[in-house]
A = this chain, B = another copy of it.
Amino acid sequence: MSTKTTLKGIAEHLNLSISTVSKALADSPEISDSTKLLVKTAARQLKYRPNAMARGLKSSRTNTLGVVIPNIMHNFFAKVIVGMEEEATKNGYSLVTCISNESLEKEKQSLHMLSDVSVDAIIISLTSETQETNEIEHLKDILHYDIPLVMFDRANSDLACDSVVINDYKGAYDAAAYLLKTGCRNIAFLSTLNNTSVGNKRLSGYQAALSDYDNTLVPKVVYTKLTSLENDLGTFIENNDIDGLITTDESSAIYSMNTLRIKGKQVPEDVSVIGFTDGNLARNYFPSVTTVKQQAEIMGKKAVQIALKNLNNKDQHEPVQEIIETELVIRNSTKTI
């Protein structure tokens, strides 16, 4: 093992003091240009790389951001991570990623761990369990330790911290409005997001669109899980004659279309389908799926930007909520106008 060069190493090599070397590398005005040059060349030769831990110990800054997400297999979250990673790297930060796997317990552990390794800020999307139970002590602890916290997508309004969310209400509203415009009148709403902030907002948007259009229309809601979707939707279809369906995520849209096919319904001729999350599945299914596109990468970048801002300016401020608008991507699972 060739031991790593430290400031001391360079200092000895050049017969200078450690602090001179430190200042030279930091481009301090106290140091003459000639020795700066000397030091910098030596540093390069000796492949000097500052020890982030030592520096962090001194400055209590680590240039790392903690991220905790419920599920990385979900296209939306993966995309958010891409956006975060890009923005973080651009600003000299790196990401410590934790996957809470929709478990409150794991979320708590992750937060502990992140605070242990002294990340400069934490960015989190809450687990469904956290949102259902509304248990937020562990999040308050983070704020209490003065670690900047920003929530994204699945936020909690009882918490005094910044957040960045999709305009879920309007996304669902637009989807329903579009279906109405194309002639659908019996539009159902299939949700795998029971008890989450996101799910509730989408439901409201859907309901509002129906009643704004014609207040005799009755909303029909199917709560389900991916694992039981085929059964739940199947029996629902047998008892309800629908011509439109909005689902709260990408996989649900696909599963629903498969179920519809099995039940002898054509998409979009018999029933139009709109999903959320614009991923590979929606784009490449047959027929391709009309989708409410959440600007995942933008969301990730914004979250990092807010975190960095908070971290550089630690005075109190009213929590701000950044709202990102969705976009309805029209494809072939819906009738044309």
Contact = CB atoms under 8 A, between A and B. Distances in A.
Interface string A227-252: 00000000000000000000000010
Interface string A33-70: 00000000000000001111110110000111000000
Interface in A250-268: 251, 254-255, 258, 261
A117 B95 CA distance: 11
A112 interface: yes
A108 interface: no
B49 A53 contact: no
B116 A52 contact: yes
Interface string A7-25: 0000000000000000000
B99 A96 contact: no
Chain A residues touching B, range: 35 or more
A333 B51 CA distance: 54
B117 A94 contact: yes
Contacts of A49: 112, 115-116
A79 to B, nearest CB: 7
Interface stretch (A123-131, A183-191, A207-215, A279-287): A279-287
A94 B99 contact: no
A78 B72 contact: yes
A109 B94 CA distance: 11
A85 to B, nearest CB: 5
B261 A280 contact: no
A73 B72 contact: no
Contacts of A75: 73
A95 to B, nearest CB: 6
Given A73-B78, A95-B97, 17 more contacts: A1-B145, A49-B112, A49-B116, A50-B116, A51-B57, A52-B116, A53-B56, A62-B117, A72-B72, A73-B75, A73-B82, A94-B114, A96-B96, A251-B280, A251-B284, A254-B284, A255-B284
10 contacts: A1-B146, A2-B144, A53-B62, A72-B78, A85-B99, A94-B117, A96-B97, A97-B97, A281-B284, A284-B285
Interface of A: 1-2, 4, 49-54, 56-57, 62-64, 72-73, 75, 78-79, 81-82, 85, 89, 94-99, 109, 112-118, 144-146, 251, 254-255, 258, 261, 280-281, 284-286
